[in-house]
Structure 1
């Protein structure tokens, strides 16, 4: 089937939303941008800006000596390397950013690690805390704050001047950056757990829906069995051939119902065991209750046509009686596909093709609409159709057509005893 290799898009689900502008750049790019901005800010402090009587800081070796310029270049290269290393080895990348900050500070002739030079470390610490487990983020915080403590201790032991108040402010902002990142990490984990819970609830709801439909199917079959058995009992003495025919119908109906139940139970157990293709569920089906089948497709087409979207039904092969579970799932797939055409495609018509093969039932619903969807309250969509097809061990595809519009296709195997 065409379209199996392409990512399927569900017209019944919201259109993809691009990420916010601040999330379109990776953490490494933001870290490098912050380093460049802080370096530029440091250079601007050596220039008398409008409204100032003198520069905020007099130029040190960073601007007018070769060793200062060399250290600035090396520190920048180390900062870029550390930013790229954050994703693979967060502690190593943060350590590189700290060394780069110390290296650039050494050319300024100051008694502390200034806020501007340590800002890149704070940004790196935020990304580590936001993306890594708490143990790793706590080690990163200890590394960042511990470096400040060691820097102050070394200067005190050597009897050098120390900007204690400025360094305490840097330490405080560093802790705040870690807290913000840790909070973002917790929020992401909470959202992930809520999504997993919603997915689990959707799986349960869908299986309950399928179970109710199977109950209706079995109840319908048992009703037929009861009627045929009663008829056989009444004519057993006077019309033995008619009684035998009724009992053969009872046997066929019973075997068919048991086969459908067996296929359903095996598929559900496979899904519980985590077998590939068992199907993930995103929502429960909101279709009408009751036993339905391919015999109702014409009624569905007529109702949809009266609503303004012409539905053409084309049948190929020789129509025949199908197992109840296959018949019901085929109708539900066509029903949801046609519903999506009406709600989201904008197409004036669609084509429904039902192909009765020897051992497979092929379904196809195509339209020439926009080929994309909008936000909707539908609860079925591709996820539900794929779940039904997977439970019957079939094949499913859904994707925009190259010539325009959208195509949903499914192949449902038909057991040999039903062929």
Structure 2
């Protein structure tokens, strides 16, 4: 049994908030205790404020703006009691960071600006040396506010980038599943049409023309073998990386036409595309369009001849499949694969038209870019 894939572990947000709250309370308490006149300035009330600043952090996710406003007001109230200086920005760092992290950057900048402005004003008009504004105080407050805002924004952008990458990976996986589904539809539908046709031939020839019956059964065997081969290839792609080997390209069109020829359909192939000119995705899509078109001719057209033309015209790949059958009619329904071909071509930046040909019969025309980046 294979080992389960490793699942990325993430820290519980509640644990993060508790740790941040404890750190906030501890830092403010340490700054209070470090005051040279802590005995006079730092009483139980100062440490209660330190605990309060930390406790507010626990509500930061539910009400980041409220936490910020209450923290700023709490800083002002703290200083009205003339407790030990702790700086204006330091007690609000966690609240400012939280507001910026939770998409309230304007509030974070505004709260920090209020603290810096009030600090600067009172330091400017203060009468004591302790209250006098120094360049160090101003730079420290501005740096703390700027760092808290920048860190909050950086964490938010990093988280959003991870979410975007996860969504992009899911979209790539879904696109790959859709491609595989289309390929299975094209391959199995084509081969089953060949099998059904030759089975009918064999049933009619048994007892009258045993050689023809054996030949028809041989074609059935080849088509069955091809289907099994494609299924095994698809399973290998599913088990391997998403960007696995590309399906067959235009080089396989001649081989694709052989079962139709063996069924009595005259298939003319005019392939004029220089090797290496096409992207792998364009090359594979062109092959699948020819395959689906031939399948539809075998199923619905009652045709005797089909012409396949693939050429480069004016920097575009132009693919035409036309037959001399019954043309557009009630048999042409969405399930016939026309809508699937149209969707495939549109995803690659091209266009597909399908309908009655001017001289009778049915025609499919696909116009595709040569490369996905051009």
Higher-RCO chain (CA-CA 8 Å, sequence separation at least 6): 1
TM-score by length of 2: 0.48
